[in-house]
Amino acid sequence: MREVLYQLISSHYTELLALWPMALLVIGLYIAVFIDPYIEKRERRIMLTVCTLVFSLVVENYLDYLLSVKITAVLFRKIVDIYGYSIRPVILLLFLCIVSKKSRIGSIGYWSVPMP
């Protein structure tokens, strides 16, 4: 694992620099969500979770690109793909929790979306 990480950092230095703008945007979003006094505690917790999952999704997309084009590690690529495909619906559900006022995270089987 250590050799793979060393190979990743040393040979793809400029591609790693492309992650910095996205990382700075997500860090700025963390700060904005954390400082804003008008966001409720429940919504703040959900939004911070969404920010964390979005940041992990950015890293997952970058790893997927590296593992499909540059490095041939098929099993590790499949694990990264499974993570990416399973985390996207979770992000959508968390946004639905913010939009819907009736839903609660702890409730079992009760996800309500307001109808127009």
Which tens digit of pLDDT belongs to each residue from 20-75?
A: 888 888 889 889 988 988 888 888 999 999 999 998 998 898 888 878 877 777 88
Is the residue at 104 inside a domain?
A: no
Is the residue at 73 inside a domain?
A: yes
Look at residue 115 in the predicted model and tell me its pLDDT. Answer: 46
Is the residue at 6 inside a domain?
A: no
Look at residue 10 in the predicted model and tell me its pLDDT. Answer: 66
How much is the mean pLDDT over the chain? 79
- Domain extent for 89: 39-98
> Percentage of the chain surpassing pLDDT 70?
73
- For the chain, the domain total comes to 1
Nearest to 14 by CA among 80, 61, 76, 66: 66
Look at residue 108 in the predicted model and tell me its pLDDT. Answer: 46
Residue with tokens 């793979």: 4
Phi-psi region of 104 (alpha: psi -120 to 50; beta: other; left: phi over 0): beta
CB 49 within 8 A of CB 94: yes
> Percentage of the chain surpassing pLDDT 90?
26
CA distance linking residue 63 with residue 3, whole number of Å = 15
CA distance linking residue 89 with residue 58, whole number of Å = 15
CA distance linking residue 3 with residue 102, whole number of Å = 49
By CB atoms closer than 10 A (0-12, 13-18, 19+), residue 29 is: middle
Q: pLDDT-derived band of residue 88, with 50, 70 and 90 as boundaries?
A: very high
Assigned token pair, 93: 């559900």
